[in-house]
Structure formats: C-alpha cells, structure tokens
Amino acid sequence: MNGLDHMWVLICACFVFFMQAGFVCYEVGFVQSKNVISVAIENIIAFVVAALSFFLVGFAFMFGKTSLGLIGTNHWFLSNLNSNYDYVFIFYQMMFAGTSVTIFSGSMSERTKLKALVIAAVIVGTIIYPVFGHWVWGGVYMGQPTLLSHLGYTDYAGATVIHSTAGWIALAGTIVVGPRKDRWDKDGKPKRLLRSNIPFATLGTFILWFSWFGFNGGNLLRFEDKIGLILLNTNFAASAGVIGAVVTTYILAKDQSMMESIFSGALGGLVAITAGSDILTPVQSIFVGFLTGSTVVLGSLVLMKLKIDDTVNAVPIHAFGGTCGVILCGAFQSTEALTTGRTHHILIQILGAGINFVWAFGVGFLMFYLIKKTVGIRVSEEEEEKGLNIVEFSDYNSWMQHIQEKRYENLTQDLNETIEKQNIILKRQAYVLAATQEKEREKIARDLHDGVGQSLVALKINLGLIHNSTKDEALKEQTSKTIKLADSTIEEIRNVMYNLKPVGLNQDGLAKSIRNLCNKLNEIGSIRFNCKIDDHLPRWDETVEMNIYRIIQESLTNIIKHSGGTEAYVNMLILNDKIILLRISDNGSGFDISSVSRGIGLNSIRERADMISAALFIESEKGVGTRIIMEVPYEKNQGIFG
C-alpha cells in the first residue's frame, strides 16, 4: 500500500465516524422529545465504550492469530503490530466497531436504563462483535483461514458482520425489555407515539447515506478504479430500496406510514449492498436494493404482529437487510467471481447468515436476560412517563416541559370530567322529563276514559232510550244524529288515548307495536304503509322505546295529513353492534324544509331524537317525497337508560 491508499482509508474512516452523527439525528427524530437527550448521550457513550473495548481486547479477538479458526489470541492492547500502516487499518476497523455497538441501543430507546445499555455495549464490543468478525474477516490482517472465510463465505463490508450482528442483538434486547408504555391499545392495535422531529430524522438518513460511501469505499483498503463502481452500487441500492419499500407499503400495508418506508427502504438498501458492492453490477445492485426494501417493510409488519416494539426500526433494516444482502449478493455474483458452484455458494451464504443469527441473537438474549435479572434493564412506568431526559440526566428544561404537560393533562382531565358529569346530569334530567311527560299523558288518558268517556257512553245510552221510546219522528232523527256524534266523539277520544299511551308497547315490544300501528293506519286510510322491522331489535328502556315510537307515530301522522302520497315505507334494522337504523319515507308532494319550522311536528321529532342521542336526517324534495333517517346508538342508550 502507498501513501494515497493510506490517505483514502483514513478519509473513509472519518466518513464512517460521521455515521455516528447520522445515527443520533435519525434516532432523535424518531423518539419523543422527552427522551432526545438520553438517546443522544447514549450514542456518545456507546461509541466511547466501543473504541476502548476494541483497543483492549476487541482487535485481538477479531484479528489476532486464530485458535481453531474461532477467536484471535494475540495483539492485546494493540501490541506487536507489524508496521505503521497497521494503525491506519486499526483506526478504520475501530470505526466499524463503533457502528456495530451503536445500532442496537436505538431499538431499545425510551424505556431502557442507561447502565444496562453501557454494560451491553461493553459485552458487544469485546465479545459478540469481534468473535463473529473473526469468523469472517479474521484472515484479512494475518492471512489466515477462519471458520466462515475458510468455507467461502463472503461479506465485503459487513452486512452481517456489523449490521445483522447489531440487528439480532437489537431483536433480543427489544424482546427482553418489552414494548414502550401505551405502544398497543387494549384491543392489541398499535398506537402511533409522538416523534420529536421527522426533518431531523431525514437529515440523519442523508448523513448515513453520505457516510456509507466511506463505509463501502474504504473497505477495499486501497484507492483504485473499482472505487467508482462501489460508490455507484451503494447509491443505486439505496435509491432502489426506497422504491421497493414504498411499492410494498402501497400494495400490502396501506395503513402503515409511507414516510417510515422511505427511511427504512433507503437504509435497508445501504445495509444490503454492503455485502457485495465490490462485485455486483449497477443493475444487480438495483435488484438487491429493491428486494431488500420490500423485505424491510415485510419485516416491520412481522414485528408489529408479534408486538415487538422497535423504536427506530433497526431490526428490519439491519438484521433482515443484512441477511437479505449476503444471500442476494451470493445469488447475483458473477460466475467469474465464484470459486464454487452458485447453488453451493448460496447455501454457504445462508449457513453463514444462520450462524450469525444463532450467535448474535443467542448470546445477546442471554446477555440482556442476565442484565435484567441483576442490575435491571427497564426504568419504572413512572420514570418512562416522565422521560429519560429527566430520569437519567435531570435536564431542567425537560422538567419544566414535563410539569407543563402534566398541568395541561390534569386541566384537560378535570374539564372532561366536568363535561361528562354535566352530560350525565342533562341526560338524567331529560329522562326524568320524558318520564314525567309520559306519566302526565297516562293521567290525561285515564281522566278522559273515566270522566269524559264514561259520560259520553252514558249519554249515548240515554239517547238510545229516548230514541226507542219516543213517537216524535223529528226527535228520533235528532237523537240519531246526536248518537252518531257521540260515537264519533268516543272514537276521537280513543284515538287521543291511544296517542297518549299506546296500548301494548310494554307488553308487545317496539317492533310489534310499530307493525300494529302500520296495520291500523292501513285499515283507516288511503295510503299504503309498508312496514319492515327487524325481529331481533334490542329492548331499550321504556322511555327510549316510547320516544322512538312517538317519532314514528308523528312521522306517519304527517304523511297522512300533509304528504298527499299513496305509499309510505317504515324500515327499522340493526346496522351494526352499535347502531339501529330507522328509515321512514313517502312518495308524496314533498316540501321545502328550510321554509317550514313548525306546524307539522318537526321540532317535536328533533327534540325526541336529541333525548335519545340519535342522529336525525330529514330530506324532502318537491314532487318526489320526504325521507326521515335516524341512527339510534344502541350501546349508548343502554349505558344511559338501561
């Protein structure tokens, strides 16, 4: 290697270091504002831990002289290096180690203790990442065969070595720590938690995209013509990843955020092409990016189904994206670059990805489980509610914001409770008023029957006696007319009594009473009433049923008096488990609703609908007819009156 090669690798290492800024912006944009300080500081601490861990034992385990192809055994504390170039190589690899350690903490944000993440970062930086890295890259520094490289497993710049390793650790961590508070509702449906700053997440995505040119370009460890191909493939895969994610979201997951698919698709494509950006053509890199973008979206849906809460979608992006990348790059790799048959190579790639999962997820799960059982991994529910800015770092501004939010929440809650209480009082008053009105109507009906009705019957009997006993023809004719008038008056009183208290409503139920009303009107009128009532209507409180019946009765009376039509329809059915639908229509002359405010019972109908919290719609068109539609909330009325 010459000086230009050294300079290129160092510049690319700085690019990779700049990824830390991208991770901070991306993760901070996706978490709630009460946790942004915590997430930012966690990223700094994670990188510090990774750098020191790599210095102490990480480099030795990863690039030292191999023992059985499983682990390095020398170069502790960066001792016994071969030349000054080694420091360039170590600096570049240290940036890779920092990336691997940083990724998993984002998935566990907003509910994980800082000390738990620090302990995990130490273990990942000293054991989990370097050991698997040795299996794949252990021969890069000393030219020796190791577990997976000896089999022919290829991973150019760390799709699995760095990204899938971190992604599977993130999966283990999210399972052990559990989902954030209020991430799913009582019915198991996901809830969208607030994000602090999506433009900031967009900036983070662009920083990561930019830094990835150094991530892939530098791993060639020399400056040559192939650099252009590597950078082009990197960019094409990210772009195609966005398209793949958006298309998949549009086709299969329209209820998911298109915005998230853009971020995830770009990063997923970048992760995948890391496996083979040095050996693929631009067209092949587009296919890899597109397919990985789709895989990332599908992976997110699977995690959602399993109720695994990944705050920044790191598991689909890094774990699924990296695994997809090494397999697809094996499938698309040119025949000239293959040392074995294509099928054999793909199987080796699948084997390597499987070993990566077993190692990273298995050890990661054990690590987080032991942390949980010893020092604890999750903050309390109250601390999570306050936010980790306050809990971990006692941030004054976050305290003030928390106090203001709690004050607002308490004020809103008190106001809602007051409104709810007033609504209950008003409903009860309406109920009492309706019940009182019905009692008064019953009393009037009883007085009519016992007083005026009985007197008219007695008068009719006496008139009959006079009619039969008199010889005066003029008197007979007069008594006959008076008897007919008495009969007519008695019938009118009966109609009034029926209107005041429908006979059989309590006994027969609402459905049968409505049918009886329609049948009676069919007998005495010229309008044909077609009645279709669901046989399985719920039983409401007596007052609710009375109001529904009155609305129907007044509507039909209006049709008889004012419509001039020949046919009317009454339909009442169960729309769903919450709404009963009533529809009354006629083919009469119609009228202008805006010009009619009283005289045909519309105000009374509206008042009754309001009393039972029903939605009422009245439509009328001249020459066509009138239609009344009412939606009666069954559950609501059950709660108020039942």
pTM over 0.85: no
User: Can you tell me the mean pLDDT for 133-142?
Assistant: 95
How many angstroms separate the Cα of 403 from the Cα of each of 180, 348, 408? 21, 57, 9
Question: Number of helices and strands (H, E) in the chain?
Answer: 25, 7
Return the half-sphere exposure (C-beta side, CA atoms, 13 A cut-off) of residue 602: 20
3-state per-residue secondary structure call for 609-635: HHHCCCEEEEEEECCCEEEEEEEEEHH
Between 228 and 182, whose confidence is greater?
Answer: 228
Tell the burial category of 338 from Cβ atoms under 10 Å away from its Cβ (0-12, 13-18, 19+). middle
User: Can you tell me the mean pLDDT for 160-175?
Assistant: 97
CA distance 407 to 305: 35
Sign for the CA dihedral angle at 138, 142, 146, 149 comes to positive
User: Helices 282-305 and 321-332 sit at what angle, rounded to 10 degrees?
Assistant: 150
87-90 long-range contacts (CB < 8 A, ≥24 apart) are 88/6, 88/9, 88/10, 88/13, 89/9, 89/141, 89/221, 90/59
C-alpha triplet 462, 463, 468: angle, nearest 5°: 100
User: In a 3-state reduction of DSSP, which class is residue 357?
Assistant: helix
| Percent of the chain whose pLDDT exceeds 90 | 53
Q: What is the pLDDT of residue 336?
A: 77
Distant-in-sequence, close-in-space partners of 203: CB < 8 Å, separation ≥ 6: 25, 29
Q: How confident is the model at residue 640 (pLDDT cuts 50, 70, 90)?
A: very low
Instruction: Encode pLDDT of 12-59 as tens digits.
Output: 999 999 999 999 999 999 998 888 888 999 999 999 999 999 999 999
- Alpha helical stretches, state H, 501-565: 505-508, 510-524, 542-558
Neighbours of 237 (CB within 10 A): 34
How many residues are there in the chain?
642
Q: How confident is the model at residue 393 (pLDDT cuts 50, 70, 90)?
A: confident
CA distance 80 to 13: 23
- Token pair for 480: 């006959």
CB 318 within 8 Å of CB 273: no
Tell the burial category of 259 from Cβ atoms under 10 Å away from its Cβ (0-12, 13-18, 19+). middle
Instruction: Encode pLDDT of 338-358 as tens digits.
Output: 778 899 999 999 999 999 999
Instruction: Encode pLDDT of 432-478 as tens digits.
Output: 666 666 666 666 766 666 666 666 666 767 777 777 777 777 777 77
User: Helices 454-469 and 473-500 sit at what angle, rounded to 10 degrees?
Assistant: 160
Instruction: Encode pLDDT of 598-638 as tens digits.
Output: 545 677 788 888 878 889 988 888 888 899 999 988 764 44
Distant-in-sequence, close-in-space partners of 317: CB < 8 Å, separation ≥ 6: 163, 167, 264, 267, 268, 271, 296
CB 140 within 8 Å of CB 219: no
CA end-to-end distance (rounded Å), the chain: 86
Instruction: Encode pLDDT of 262-310 as tens digits.
Output: 999 999 999 999 999 999 999 999 999 999 999 999 999 999 999 999 9
Q: What is the pLDDT of residue 481?
A: 73
CA distance 559 to 209: 71
User: In a 3-state reduction of DSSP, which class is residue 447?
Assistant: helix
| Percent of the chain whose pLDDT exceeds 70 | 86
CB 27 within 8 Å of CB 204: yes
Residue 498 has pLDDT above 60, yes or no: no
User: Can you tell me the mean pLDDT for 58-68?
Assistant: 96
Question: What are the phi and psi torsion angles at 67 (to 5°)?
Answer: -115, 105
How many angstroms separate the Cα of 147 from the Cα of each of 132, 176, 311, 356, 470? 9, 30, 34, 12, 130
- Average predicted confidence (pLDDT) for the chain: 86
Instruction: Encode pLDDT of 402-440 as tens digits.
Output: 566 667 666 777 787 888 888 777 777 666 666 666 666
